[in-house]
Chains A and B, each alone.
Chain A
Amino acid sequence: MSRAITADEVPVAPGGKNYLNAEKGIWSWLTTIDHKRIGLMYLGSTGTAFLIAGCFALLLRIELLNPKQDIMTAPQYNQAFTLHGAMMVFLFIIPGIPGGLFNFILPIMIGAKDVAFPKLNLLSLYLYWIGALFTASSLVSTGLDTGWTFYVPYSANVSQTAVIQVTFGAFILGFSSILTGLNFMVTIHKLRAPGVTWYRLPLVLWAAYATSIVQILATPVLAITLLLLILERAFGIGIFDPKLGGDPVLYQHFFWFYSHPAVYIMILPGMGIISELIAVHSHRRIFGYKAIAFSSVAIALVGFLVWGHHMFTSGQSELASTVFSFITFFVAIPSGVKVFNWTSTMWKGSIAWNSPMLYAMSFLFLFTIGGLTGLPLAMIGLDLHLHDTYFVVAHFHYVMMGGAVIAFIGGLHHWWPKMTGKMYDDTKGKIACGLIFVGFNMTFFTQFFLGSRGMPRRYYTYLDQFQPLHAFSTYGSWVLGAGLFFVLYTFLESLWKGEKAPRNPWGGRSLEWMTPSPPPTENFHRTPTVTHGPYDFPSTVDK
């Protein structure tokens, strides 16, 4: 018979002391080693990056409203799309969910008082800020116009922008990512409370674990790639410069060896969140727990073998292209399995139609499209037509934004009461979700057509025939932007007039819902003993 953790294990401290009010003053925040405070600071920082990078996107979509539109010059446009991409990838998506959400929930979910290395966690945050500073400082110097992929020879020999500054910033951000992954992996291995076996971990933590594998193994290769690029640009050492015997395609291999696994750093956390959202808001055990757990690890590992599918037209050998295409299809299978499992979880569940669940369902819709559109790109013969067109832009926005970002926002709606002790207005939350869903599809589904019809990406202007589709996409971006701002408003509103959040607003069964909202600084006064799984909802066969 399972014994649930009771509120006795985690009493509310006298005077309502929790991690937010335990210590006052900005210095106590800047030098904290409390994972929850560090998580909030990550959220604020990555959220700011999202805002700035998102504004770049809105601007460039205005420029693309029609070909004669000129709110900016071509060089400025190139900076806009480069900084949009670089900030979103390095300053928002990669650090966002692990640093922002997982920092907060991971220790609590395993019954620990903090991560394994709290000071290292703070160092990760500092490194994020330093890296962000280098990257953002380019905004006030000469900017960046190489594309977030920094392809040589353009970035090493031609661009007149702050390439070294930004790549050095990305280099430092890489260390932040590595240390976070290292911290989480050791935490999950070593700090689980008694009774928290591997198969009783909430699936979001399996996702965090798989993400950590990728962060630890892949990011060092980015570090060496960027270092070599900096040396090439600063000193002309000749490693990528064809005039000096170097190979520009080698740069692409190095770059994508990290950057493909990096997209799994971006999506795995989101997938983990979706497992939580669907299970809790359907009050139902996740269907196929082990399949989802192992598929996360499988995606992390197989993801290292497919980088060349970004390079089918690069001049790499036909054999290499063939192998990469073949393995790419294999990495699609675990993702498909997850989607089937999540849908099955909803069968005979008790589905709450609230903001987190609406985001989860949006995720299923959008990520399915994103994943399926990866298939034509993996078919090499077809990729010869689709590579470097808007089809690719649409595909990756569907998986990264329609997938990871939607999951992130859904996760925020799910854990917001726990983190802040406040309830947001769910009606506003649902309206915002609707706006985002409609706006997103308007913006990006259109771009599949643009791409398949031959519109290349990173274009400042375009053939007249593409104008109607571009205009529609731009209007969609306004709806999407409105939805996102509405989310921000809803959250801010909750802070000043939201209802006090109960301990367990959703009826969840994992450990974080046993703590007060917000939790005390040390999470648990006594390490709890867990005797049931995280999805142990009352079932129809219970007596």
Chain B
Amino acid sequence: MGLGRALFLLSLVLPLDLVPVYPGAIHTHLGDDLSLDGFSFRMAYFTTRDSIRIVANHFFEEWKQQGYLTVVEGDFEGEAVVSAFSTRTALQRAVVLRLQRGKTLGFSVVRQLRSHFSAAPADRMPVLEHSLWTSDLAAGRASARDWQRTTILEEGLLKARDLARQQLERAGCALVRQAKDGEGRRARISLEHRCAKGPVATVLSEQEPGITALLQTHATDPFPAEASQKSRAAQAGK
């Protein structure tokens, strides 16, 4: 890997050609430049008739030969993961392999090992109270603004809904719609808020008594109201 490429890795966007490629397989890229908890990554999937063991061995040998720290996990029958770490460029390349209807399904991933959360802290909601686990995913070049949050809360459905509503309303968002569907363990609550930067959609579902999953999407208006008004004012002034 050349120095130019290594330096490039330090930028926010990872180049496509660093996604691990299995020879002879067609790779389908998933999403654009993604960000998970501030770590940029790219992902693709492929299928091949070669066994998991052969595919895993290909990547293990290739990366080992290149001098990377390489680890393998799995039973090599139903699943395997091969990872290579470049500490100098803070980069991890990995393939996750699974047996799927007699074929090997592989997910190729390249991710940065240093966080590059570019959004200003004010753009991010703090982690909710009683959160057991939280992960923020951003996608696209507007990754600083459009993002998704997945949270597991140690709360029942209604209490989790209240926490989510309170947080958004404290941030100045207005509840536009609330709906509940399903009953018992299938119960889901959907919330739609209107915030200064754009709409926020929240879906809550109780996974088991006292444990609720929250999926929240923060979108950004392509033309914020304020900017549109300024533009119109400028047009009118001409």
> Is B a genuine binding partner of A?
no
- A interface vs B, CB < 8 Å? none
Interface residues of B (CB under 8 A from A): none
